Amino acid sequence: RYFGAAVAAGKLGDSVYTGILDREFNSVTAENEMKWDATEPQQNQFNFTNADRIANYAAANGKLLRGHTLLWHSQQPGWAQALSGTALRNAAINHVTRVAGQYRGRIHSWDVVNEAFADGTSGGRRDSNLQRTGNDWIEAAFRAARAADPAAKLCYNDYNTDGINAKSTGIYTMVRDFKARGVPIDCVGLQSHLTNGPPGDYQANLQRFANLGVDVQITELDIPQGSNQAKAYAHVTRACLAAARCNGITAWGARDSGYWPGNGNPLLFDRSGNKKAA
Ligand code: G3I
């Protein structure tokens, strides 16, 4: 199992920050630098400068590297937002192929697709320009990612899926279908932005995904400071340790300062870089 933090390339020059990373974490996720707007600002013109800063930091310091994220409805470059239909589908698959190929062999796990399911009770897909290219866009992305980087674990990642609810069940059904049809998927990421702490069925939800034959990773954990922050972190950690296929926990940042969107003090280290009770 690994224990990780989301990191920002712009903070890697801060020795208090990197001190925490070096000492406490053995995995990092790029908070923004591997997203579509960052890596392909103009169509077919790739820029890996900031993504490389994180990848090189990981390699130089013996950290696993999580890739976040190949396709998402948000943080798309303007040119992609303006596309639709076959042109968008082809651009999206090209993006997956090129970015996963760029980091081939260096990524422990890729969030191939992020946040493609709708909130609420439908259990269905979120409407987006990608979804409107056809319901098979997710499996097309996973197949392209597997071809580009066969060693990386390929993950579907989402939020508000931490307990058993309509949204997590929609994803569960998709993963079961992918496994049955041989679509390459290796893991499910539960973001776990746990505003109200973990739901009572958190562990049962982890376990039901594991039982489908995929790994489960807690990918963006944060829990606002206040009553029971430490207990809630302990609950999440115990749930992961108890599920055989929960192979990693990533907090959505290392310390409270610089946390996006800036408040809540939801991380494990305070603004001065000291360990909190959690
Ligand atoms: O880099 C620009 C900077 O040049 C500019 O001056 C500044 C002014 O607004 O914006 C900076 O960009 C911001 C960027 O973070 C880097 O700090 C964007 O405005 C801001 O929108 C962006 O926010 C990111 C957010 O995703 C966007 O959706 C957060 O950092 C990032 O933590 C957050 O991460 C997401 C995950 O990818 C997916 N799951 C939810 C999670 C947030 O809870």
Each of the 278 residues of the chain gets a pLDDT tens digit; together they read 999 999 999 999 999 999 999 999 999 999 999 999 999 999 999 999 999 999 999 999 999 999 999 999 999 999 999 999 999 999 999 999 999 999 999 999 999 999 999 999 999 999 999 999 999 999 999 999 999 999 999 999 999 999 999 999 999 999 999 999 999 999 999 999 999 999 999 999 999 999 999 999 999 999 999 879 999 999 999 999 999 899 999 999 999 998 887 789 999 999 999 999 99
List all residues whose CB is within 6 A of at least one atom of ligand 1. Answer: 31-32, 74-75, 114, 159, 191, 193, 220, 260
User: Which residue's CA lies nearest to atom 26 of ligand 1?
Assistant: 32
Q: For residues 278 and 233, what is the distance between their CA atoms, to the nearest angstrom?
A: 6
Q: Is 0.95 topped by the overall pTM? A: yes
> To test ligand 1's pocket by mutation, which of 53, 260, 263 has the most ligand atoms within 8 angstroms of CB?
260
Residue 261: per-residue pLDDT: 77
Rounded to a whole number of angstroms, the distance between the first and last alpha carbons of the chain is 19
For the chain, the residue count is: 278
The pLDDT of residue 237 is 98
The alpha carbon of 31 and the centre of ligand 1 are apart by a number of angstroms equal to 8
Pocket probe for ligand 1: among 28, 32, 119, the residue whose CB has the most ligand atoms within 8 Å is: 32
115 is catalytic: yes
Our answer to whether residue 24 is catalytic in this structure is: no
Closest CA to 202 of 251, 230, 236: 236
How far apart CA 212 and CA 12 sit, in angstroms, is 38
pLDDT given at position 199: 97
Residue identifier of the C-alpha nearest atom 29 of ligand 1: 260
| pLDDT value for 257 | 92
How confident is the model at residue 172, as a pLDDT?
98
Predicted pLDDT at 258 = 85
